[in-house]
Amino acid sequence: MTVSPLPFPAADSPSLGIPGREALIVFVRGLAVEAGIGVYDHEQGRLQTLIVDVTLELTPAPVERLGDTINYETVAQAAQAIVAEGHVGLVETFAERLATACLSDVRVRRCTVRIEKPGALDAAAAAGCEVVLAR
């Protein structure tokens, strides 16, 4: 048995098993998109900034190349595609559409989309929602 200089057993210690993959998490944080969003009259016909965070839990698997995982750009493109579809009344609707788009990739087991709408409340840094969808 090898003696480890670290404060835990060496890798070949008989008390340790081979580690198993439990999760692969891919995320995009702080993605700013300019969207037609809101239900009030003063929100119609103008763009507002949304700050989007997306967390994807993928089926655990080895990742050696880009095709083995979710490309961050794909997440950003999905958000922009929702913007391109036109005005959305609620951030909750936007979040659910984005989560659904992310789940269209069969490797995604769970998707959390958090959207902040800065300026929605004068006394708050941001207001928004978080939607979690899973298979």
Domains belonging to the chain, first-starting first, are: 24-134 (3.30.1130.10)
Rounded to an integer, the average pLDDT of 101-116 is 97
Query: Residue 75: how many CB atoms within 10 A of its CB?
Result: 22
pLDDT above 90 for 1: no
CA distances from 28 to 65, 89, 97, 126 (A): 18, 23, 16, 18
| pLDDT level of residue 58 (50, 70, 90 thresholds) | very high
Count the helices and strands in the chain (H runs, E runs).
2, 4
What's residue 108's pLDDT?
97
| pLDDT level of residue 100 (50, 70, 90 thresholds) | very high
Q: How far apart are CA 114 and CA 96, in angstroms?
A: 10
What's residue 8's pLDDT?
64
pTM: 0.85
Rounded to an integer, the average pLDDT of 94-116 is 97
